[in-house]
Amino acid sequence: MGETAAKSPRRLLPRVFLFCLFGFVIHLWVLLGALIFGHSFVPSQAYVGSHDMIAKSVAILVGCLMLFFCCRKFAKDFQSPDLSTKTFLVSGFGILVVPLIFGVFARAVVLTAYPLWLAAVVGGDTQLEFSIRDTTGSSMRCPRMVNLADMPMMTGTLCDVPEAVRRTLYPGMRVLLTGRGTVNGLFAARIDVAPNGPVLPGESWLR
C-alpha cells in the first residue's frame, strides 16, 4: 500500500505536465490565430509592466524544469550502449535550446493569457495608448506591419496598417489602439495618434 501511494505522485506528475503543455499550446495557437486571421491581440503596457517580474519568474521556473528533463534524457541516452552520434547531438542541442524556447514562450503566455481571454469573453469597445517600436518588415500573412514597443513575444505586431498611416509613424511615437478588450489588453482594430499628436491621413482601420 505504501509503495503504491509513493508511486502515485510520479504517475501524476507527467499527466499534470502534459495538461499544462496542452493548455500552453492551445493559448499559443490562439495568439497566432489572432495575428494571422483576425485582429492582433495586444496586452496593455501597464499590464505588461506590472506583471513582467512574475512572468520572468515563471519563465525561469519553466526553463529550469525543461533543463531538468533534457539533462535527464541526455544522461539516459549517454548511458545507452548503442548511442549514435545523431542522438548525442540532438540531446545536447536540446539542453541548450529547449529550456530557452520554453522560457520565452512561458513569459509570453503569462503576460497574455489572462488579458486575452478576458478581452474575448467580457471585453467591450476599448482604447489604449502604446508607443511605436518600428515600422519595418512585411510578410505574406502580415503585410504592412507595425511593431509596438515593450511587448512580449507573439504580440505587439499590427498587420495591414494603411500605407498612408504607416508612413507617418516613427519609433517612439505614441498611438491609440481601439478594439474589443479591457484595460488589460485588446484586439486592435483601429490605430490613431495619441492626443496632441498629428492627424493621421486616410482610413486608420486595420484589416
Query: 79 pLDDT exceeds 60?
Result: yes
Strand spans (E) along 149-184: 157-158, 174-182
Q: What percent of the chain has pLDDT over 90?
A: 23
Residue with C-alpha cell 469573453? 121
* Phi, psi for residue 41 in degrees, rounded to 5: -90, 135
| Grid cell at residue 54 | 512574475
- Residue whose C-alpha is closest to residue 58's, from 152, 150, 151: 152
Query: 136 pLDDT exceeds 50?
Result: yes
For the ranges 39-48, 77-86, 89-98, 156-165, the lowest mean pLDDT is seen at: 77-86
**Number of neighbouring beta carbons within 10 Å of residue 80:** 10
If one compares 138 and 4, the residue with the highest pLDDT of the two is: 138
**Interatomic CA distance for residues 177 and 175, integer angstroms:** 7
**Interatomic CA distance for residues 207 and 92, integer angstroms:** 44
Per-residue DSSP letter, 205? B
State mean pLDDT over 9-33.
Answer: 59
Q: Are 132 and 172 in contact (CB under 8 A)?
A: yes
If one compares 154 and 205, the residue with the highest pLDDT of the two is: 154
**Interatomic CA distance for residues 102 and 11, integer angstroms:** 23
Alpha helices in the chain (DSSP H): 2-37, 45-79, 85-122, 163-166
If one compares 82 and 5, the residue with the highest pLDDT of the two is: 82
Strand 146-148 and strand 157-158: pairing?
A: antiparallel
